[in-house]
Amino acid sequence: MKPFSILLLRSTVFFCLALLAIVSCKKDDDDGLPITNDLRVLQVNTEGNAITSGATDLSVISAFELVFSHGLNTSAFEAALSITPDADYAIAYDATNSLVTISFNTPLAYETEYTIRLPQGAYGASGAASTGDFVFTFTTAAFEPPGLSLQSDESGFFEGETLTVTAKLDRAILEEVSMELVFSGSAQGEGVDYSASAASITIPAGQTTGSIELTALPDGDLEGEETITIALTNIVNAVEVSAQMLTVTLGDTPPSLEIAGVLSLKIAG
């Protein structure tokens, strides 16, 4: 056989083998995602990542993208879709009505399993129908309380002055945080040596601080330096960074300065 014929034969065999490999790969691809005109959910995404049914530790403010094989009849789809337990949600679509975004108007419950369900039916814009129910479950993450600390804008104050006491979280959360204050120390509260604007502090959801004011009351007595100690109890939705016990000092009204006279010195020139 001539060298050219051998080369041609080898090239033909190589081409056939390559074509066979491509066809085989295409068949494998088709086996994984068969070609069909049935309505299907191709993928579910949250926070930019694809997830599968049974996903756990999801944020209580997650949003979900459902990627469908066809554009949807939106009214039929929305009438059939359900989420359990009940959730307050909104639905948005892309221009093709094949990408559905489900977002929640209020945070979901912590550490709770939810189910997104779409019964078998014809929800495609052109009548395409699903061949079975779509059921997708996910579980939200457990609540992690933020750290809580107590601080004041000054280490002490005098009679007639006001001092601010602030409760501070190390991060904002979606829940309201509340606590009660326990006062002790050598200074007497309840309007004797000082008064507090409140006996509790509430930090609204989404914020990191809440505060009260202490006012030192003038009594005309010389009592020397006294102390006010504040501790926390009945804390809801937060934990103390360490046992919080804030102590500030309360002093008598400082004596006023008086200038008895003015000395004038004239130097003769």
Q: What is the pLDDT of residues 127-181, one digit of tens each?
A: 999 999 999 999 999 999 999 999 999 999 998 899 999 999 999 999 999 999 9
> Model's pTM, two decimal places?
0.70
CATH number, span 41-140: 2.60.40.3710
Answer whether 59's CB lies under 8 Å from 140's CB: yes
Domain 41-140 shares a fold with domain 147-251: yes
- In this model, does residue 21 exceed pLDDT 70? no
Render pLDDT for 37-56 as a digit per residue (tens, 0 to 9): 899 999 999 999 999 999 99
Give the Å distances, CA to CA, from 133 to 63, 90, 150, 227: 21, 21, 53, 68
**161 phi/psi in degrees, rounded to 5:** -105, 165
Nearest C-alpha neighbor of 57 from the set 43, 47, 65: 47
Banded pLDDT at 269 (limits 50, 70, 90): very low
DSSP state of 218: P
**36 phi/psi in degrees, rounded to 5:** -155, 160
**6 phi/psi in degrees, rounded to 5:** -65, -45
Q: Which two tokens stand for residue 241?
A: 């960074």
Answer whether 42's CB lies under 8 Å from 67's CB: yes
Query: Angle 45-90-126 (CA atoms, 0-180°, nearest 5)?
Result: 75
Q: Which amino acid, 28?
A: D
Nearest C-alpha neighbor of 152 from the set 143, 140, 162: 162
- In this model, does residue 113 exceed pLDDT 90? yes
What average pLDDT does range 233-262 have in this prediction? 83
- Give the H/E segment covering residue 196: strand 194-196
Q: Regarding predicted confidence, which is higher, 45 or 224? A: 45
Over pLDDT 90: what percentage of the chain?
73
CATH number, span 147-251: 2.60.40.2030
Q: Which amino acid, 148?
A: L
Render pLDDT for 49-89 as a digit per residue (tens, 0 to 9): 999 999 999 999 999 999 999 999 999 999 999 999 999 99
Q: Where are the domains of the chain?
A: 41-140, 147-251
